[in-house]
């Protein structure tokens, strides 16, 4: 069995938020969820992370039902527990409560051992003018790349 590079990104996150810190977390998944991920399916578009009762969870992460699953298939948008150290959870919970930041998933992938990992980020929402600046920078970079490639 070869290594299957599953790499699901939240492209919208970098446009909507300014990422202050990043952290890598494991996830508690059922058998049909990991099989569906290995098929390359899943979406982070509307997902967010929350800390409740000293534990971190990712909510609204979409992993579609496994195509060969039976009656024991999972619910596509169920809440999934994140595996983090107590110190990391407490530190991020304090920052979220104090400064009004949020925790969002950035990337979902399988590591070389076949375990599902979620890269999460401590983020601050961008204002409208920040988004316009991001678009302007992207356009300038695209034009520069086009000039370099053409000439």
Least confident piece of the model among 61-70, 81-90, 97-106: 61-70
**Could you tell me what percent of the chain has a pLDDT over 90?**
25
Greater pLDDT, 65 or 69? 65
pLDDT above 90 for 105: yes
Supply 30's token pair.
């059922």
Report which of 99, 104, 100 is spatially closest to residue 121, judged by C-alpha positions. 104
For residue range 20-48, list pLDDT tens digits in order.
999 999 998 888 888 888 888 888 888 88
> pLDDT grade, residue 4 (50/70/90)?
low
pLDDT above 90 for 87: yes
Instruction: Give the rounded distance of the alpha carbon of 48 from its chain centre.
Output: 8
Q: Is 7-126 a domain of CATH 2.40.280.10? A: yes
* Domain range annotation of the chain: 7-126
Cα–Cα distance, 118 to 125 (Å, whole number) = 20
Long-range contacts of 67-73 (CB under 8 A, 24+ apart): 67/36, 67/39, 68/35, 69/32, 69/35, 69/36, 72/32, 73/32
Read off the pLDDT of each residue in 61-83 and give the average, rounded to a whole number.
82
CB 22 within 8 A of CB 84: no
């Amino acid at each position: 069995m070869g290594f299957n590079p599953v790499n699901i990104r939240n492209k919208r996150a970098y446009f909507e938020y300014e990422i202050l810190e990043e952290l890598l977390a494991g996830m508690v998944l059922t058998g049909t969820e990991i099989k569906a991920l290995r098929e390359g399916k899943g979406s982070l578009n509307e997902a967010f992370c929350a800390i409740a009762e000293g534990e971190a969870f990712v909510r609204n992460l979409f992993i579609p039902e496994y195509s060969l699953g039976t009656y024991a298939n999972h619910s596509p948008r169920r809440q999934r527990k994140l595996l983090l150290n107590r110190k990391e959870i407490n530190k991020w919970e304090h920052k979220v409560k104090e400064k009004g930041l949020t925790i969002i998933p950035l990337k979902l992938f399988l590591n070389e051992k076949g375990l599902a990992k979620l890269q999460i980020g401590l983020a601050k929402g961008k204002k409208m003018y920040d988004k316009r600046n991001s678009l302007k920078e992207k356009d300038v970079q695209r034009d520069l790349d086009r000039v370099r490639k053409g000439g």
